[in-house]
Amino acid sequence: MLQGVRLQRLKYRAWSPDWDHDHCCACMAKFAEFDGPDIQHEGYATTSDFARGAAYEWICVECFEDLRDAMGWSEVPSETSNGVARGRGDPSSEPRGDEGPSSDGSSA
C-alpha cells in the first residue's frame, strides 16, 4: 500500500477533536499531540498525491530511515508553510471512508 509513496516530514496534529492519535504504519508507534511514554510528535506523512490524501498515513522517523530504500519512499518538502500536518485536519479534506458522512451530507 505504501510502496513508492512520497512522504513529507511534519509535526503531528490530530485531524479532528474526536481523534487524538495515529500510528506508524510499520511499527505501530503512536503519534499524538499529548505527551507520554514513547509518543511521537513528528514523523513522515503521506502527501496530497496519495490516494487517501495528505497526512493520512504516518511513518515514524526510525522506520522511515530503516525502510526508505526497501519501500522506495522519497522525502519531499512539506506542503505546508510551517511543517505542521494539515491532511485530515484540513477543512477541505475528505473524511476516511469509515468516519461517517462527507461535508455534503452523503455517506463516504
Calculate mean pLDDT across residues 15-28.
94
Measured CA to CA, the distance from residue 94 to residue 87 in angstroms comes to 9
Measured CA to CA, the distance from residue 53 to residue 80 in angstroms comes to 14
φ/ψ region of 4 (left if φ > 0, alpha if ψ in -120 to 50, else beta) reads left
C-beta separation of 2 from 71 below 8 A = yes
C-beta separation of 95 from 55 below 8 A = no
- Per-residue pLDDT tens for 37-88? 999 999 999 999 999 999 999 999 999 999 999 999 999 988 765 656 655 5
Q: What is the model's pLDDT at position 102?
A: 37
pTM greater than the 0.95 cutoff:
no
Residue with cell 506508524: 24
Residue with cell 451530507: 105
Alpha helices in 8-92 (DSSP H): 61-71
